[in-house]
Each structure stands twice: as C-alpha cells, then as structure tokens.
Amino acid sequence: MASNIPALNHTTYYKRKMLKFRSPIAIALVLSVALLISVTTPAFADIIPPKKQSALGISNENIVCESGLFKVLRENSNTVACLIPSHVFKLMAKGWAKPVDDSLLDTHIDLEEKSIGTINTISVTPVKPSQGNVKTKASVIAYDYVFEVCAPQRIYNPTILIQSDSDSKHYQLAETITPDRCILSVSRVMASNMDSIQSTLLNKGEISKVVAELENKIITLKTELTEARSSLGSAPVEGPDKITQGNKIADLRKQINDARAELHRLYFIMYSSSSKTTALEKSSFSGATIQGETATKLSVTKSLLEKNLHIVTFETCAGKSLIKLPVVMVNSDQETKNVKIGTKISPNSCQMTTAKIMAIDPESISVAPVGNINTIQVEELEETIVNLQENLIEQKELLRSLVHNPERPVDFNSQTDTLAGKIIDLKNQIISRKAEFSKIMLETYR
C-alpha cells in the first residue's frame, strides 16, 4: 500500500484512509488528536488568530490564516478555523468542517514540508546578570542570540521560532526580507545550555505572495488611471468619449481603493499584536476644509445607463502642502457622497477625476474638498517609522561589525548585550507603528 501513495493526490489519499475508521469512537479520537496538534504545535506564524480578526470587524471571507495553515468554516457556527492542512479532511469527515476545494487543499499540504529560507546562527552570548546576582553553570540564564535570516524570495513579516531547553518564542522581524539578501537580528532567549538554542523560519510564502500580487496590482491600476485621466483631458467637453472615460476613471479609482483596503488589511493583521488589538472603526471624515486644497467642477454629463444619473468631472488641487488622503464631497439635490481620490496629490499640482451621482437638476451638483482627520497622524507615523528604521539599520551595522570582527574586544559580551537591547526595542517600536499606520489606511480605503 505504501508504494501506491505517491500515485494519489493528497486529498484522495486522506479520503481513502478515513474510510477505515468505522467506529465513531475511533473517529472522535482521531479528530481530538488532530485538533490538539493543530492548536498546540508551534509550527507556523504570520498573523493574528482568526478570532482576533473577527473581533476587529473582519468578515469570514477576508480572514487570513497563519502561514502554513488552511482556512475552513465550522459547520455548526459558520466561523473560521485555521488547521494544519493534513488534518482538514478528518474534520470534514466528522462533519465538523464544511467542504473545501480539494486542489487548494492539496497545494497547502505540499507546503507543509516546504522551507523558503535559512537561518544562520552568528553568536550566542550570555546577558550580563544583575549586580550581585550570582548564577551557577546549571542555572537557566538569558542569552543574546544573534542570527541572520536569508531567503531567495520576498518575505513580508518574517517570523522566527526560537527554541531552547528552557524557552520557546515567536520572534517577528520589523523588516521585509528581499530576494537573495540576509537580515541580521538578535533576540534574548532563556536556556541552561546555550547549545540547545535553535531557530526556524516559520513563513511558508503564501501570505507574502498575496501581498506582492496586491502591490503589483495597485501599480498597474495606477498606471491605467494616469492614462485614463490624460485621455479625459483631451476628450471633447460633451460626447460619448467623455462618458466612456469618466466611467473608466470611476471604476479604476474604485479598484485602487479596494486593492489598497485589502493590502492594508493584510498589513494590519500581520503587524498587530494579538494582545494589543482594537476594533476597527468605520471610515469617518471631519467635513472640514483641508488647508490649501480646492475642488472645482469642470463638467456634468448625463449618463445613458440610468435616469437622473450624471457623471461629474472635477479637478482637485493641492496648495503648498502634500495631500496624503484626498477626499472630495460630491453633492446634488438627490444625494451626497464622499469620493476618495485614491492617490496623493503633490504640492502645487492638480488631479482630474470623475464620480457618478443622482440628480434631477444637473446644476445642483457641486464639489467641495473634505479633510481626513488622520492625515497629520499618517504623516507623523510615516516619519517616525522612517527614523526608527534608520536607527535600527545603524544599530544592526554596529552589531554586524562587532560579531564578524575576528579580534573580539574584551567587553564583547557587554557590547553585544547593549546593542541587542537597543535593536529589540527599536524592532518592537517599528512593528507597533506599522500596525497603527495600516489600521488608519484600512479605515480610509475600505
């Protein structure tokens, strides 16, 4: 029988194997073990758990599982569970989980043994004990564990499992790993034997692939939007070309905002700490005029698709300051809507765009700029993240020079410990700020 297994796909093999379990007690035992393993095994980590995501207001459809786990819906509660792929069919057979796509499950099962990067241990040095605190050789003490993570592909939110004879932790890096580049980092680990310290890269690559695809999609859509805006400017004031280009611009802008919302949702659930998450609030704008921003109606064209539907073309301009999250309120005698432009507006420049709005009297249509209450906060967060990253790079370069120096100084352990403390603190600050930034951007674009 063993020799025939490779001829079957993974899902078919597990289906046939489950037929052997006739006894309900046997099935229950298998399911209990499968659930226990999937919950307790420290095998994968990219993002916060599904329950936390649901509590943040993220729908079942948009919940993402940790790297290496497979998303299923519970049959009785219709809530999301994330399981080790090879255990999914056992729960489906029991009626605990709803049916899933076999081919997609096979793909995830293949990823279980996949490794997309390597970790090289650089040095392990004991942390300087508190003054007057004497340790014996048999004691469990803290070590500064310096390591490098390398990968042939881009990895967002790289997460490391660090284990020893006395400790086990998930360690999240602040940087994105780029292809064929190594990132130096350091963590503090408890151990009685320093040789027992080991590390594993937990990411399997599927989350990073989705993020990369979304980033490329946004770049492509923005290029198409720029071209459509140029065509709009050269089209006649009235006529079918104006309507066609107006519809295209509105559709592209919506696609960009949707893609950005999806991207920042992934960023948010990756960078948010599972112990420090706050519920997402609905997008809200202050209604106040943004300093230096203007919106001007250029033309109104009646749509051929629906009665009283009009396409308004308008221009939004920035003064001396960059408009990070431009929003324009479009008003008529029938409705009012906030239009998110989708791209920032540079100082002393304008962007032309369109929106659809219902109106009985076309003359009642007006446009006005409205501010996003988080614009200043976004700019401050971006500046803070850049400064922290620059500081982190400086500290890591100092650590790299220290650990790779063949003639180590007498106070090597002390210097390593000091740099380790600074690097760990900077890393935690960057991840926290990234979570704040992604939360604001998600609320803005969704």
Question: How far is 375 from 166, CA to CA, in rounded Å?
Answer: 46
Q: Of residues 334 and 46, which shows the higher confidence score? A: 334
Q: What is the pLDDT of residue 426?
A: 92
Question: Would you say 371 and 379 are in contact if contact means Cβ atoms under 8 Å apart?
Answer: no
Both tokens assigned to 304: 């051929």
CB contact set of 321 (below 8 Å; sequence gap of 6+): 291, 292, 347
* 35 has a pLDDT exceeding 60: no
DSSP for 197-213, please give it. -EEEE---SHHHHHHHH
Model pTM greater than 0.95? Answer: no
Give me the residue label for tokens 């919302």. Answer: 261
Question: How far is 328 from 370, CA to CA, in rounded Å?
Answer: 6
Question: Would you say 187 and 428 are in contact if contact means Cβ atoms under 8 Å apart?
Answer: no
What are the distances in angstroms from CA 326 to CA 217, 249, 253, 295, 374? 21, 16, 12, 10, 11
Q: What is the pLDDT of residue 273?
A: 52
User: Over the stretch 270-320, which tens digit does the pLDDT of each residue have?
Assistant: 666 544 444 444 322 223 333 457 888 877 888 777 888 888 888 777 777
Q: What is the pLDDT of residue 30?
A: 42
Question: Would you say 10 and 113 are in contact if contact means Cβ atoms under 8 Å apart?
Answer: no
Percent of the chain with pLDDT over 70: 73
- What burial class does residue 88 get, using C-beta atoms within 10 Å of its C-beta: 0-12 exposed, 13-18 middle, 19+ buried? buried
Q: Where are the beta strands (DSSP E) in 282-322?
A: 294-302, 309-317
Question: Would you say 158 and 174 are in contact if contact means Cβ atoms under 8 Å apart?
Answer: no
Both tokens assigned to 220: 């492509």
Question: How far is 202 from 136, CA to CA, in rounded Å?
Answer: 34
The residues that bridge with 119 in the sheet, in sequence order, are 149
- Mean pLDDT across 246-251: 80
Percent of the chain with pLDDT over 90: 17
* 154 has a pLDDT exceeding 50: yes
Closest CA to 127 of 173, 197, 198, 190: 190
Q: Of residues 68 and 197, which shows the higher confidence score? A: 197
User: Over the stretch 334-380, which tens digit does the pLDDT of each residue have?
Assistant: 999 888 776 677 776 777 777 888 999 989 999 888 755 456 677 78
Tell me which range, 5-14, 48-57, 178-187, is most confidently predicted by mean pLDDT. 178-187
CB contact set of 375 (below 8 Å; sequence gap of 6+): 290, 323, 324, 325
Strands 350-358 and 309-317: antiparallel
Which range is least confidently modeled, 35-44, 203-212, 217-226? 35-44
Strands 168-172 and 159-163: antiparallel
Q: What is the pLDDT of residue 181?
A: 80
* 26 has a pLDDT exceeding 70: no
Q: What is the pLDDT of residue 32?
A: 45
Give the chain's domains with CATH numbers. 2-111 (no CATH), 118-204+378-445 (no CATH), 208-271+285-371 (2.60.40)
DSSP for 411-435, please give it. THHHHHHHHHHHHHHHHHHHHHHHH
SS (HEC) of 227-255: HHHHHHHHCCCCCHHHHHHHHHHHHHHHH
The residues that bridge with 121 in the sheet, in sequence order, are 147
pLDDT tier at 115, thresholds 50, 70, 90: low
Question: Which ranges in 41-128 belong to alpha helices (H)?
Answer: 50-55, 88-94, 102-111
Q: Tell me the CA end-to-end span of the chain in Å, nearest whole number.
A: 52
Average pLDDT, the chain: 75
Question: How far is 69 from 44, CA to CA, in rounded Å?
Answer: 7
Q: Of residues 180 and 283, which shows the higher confidence score? A: 180
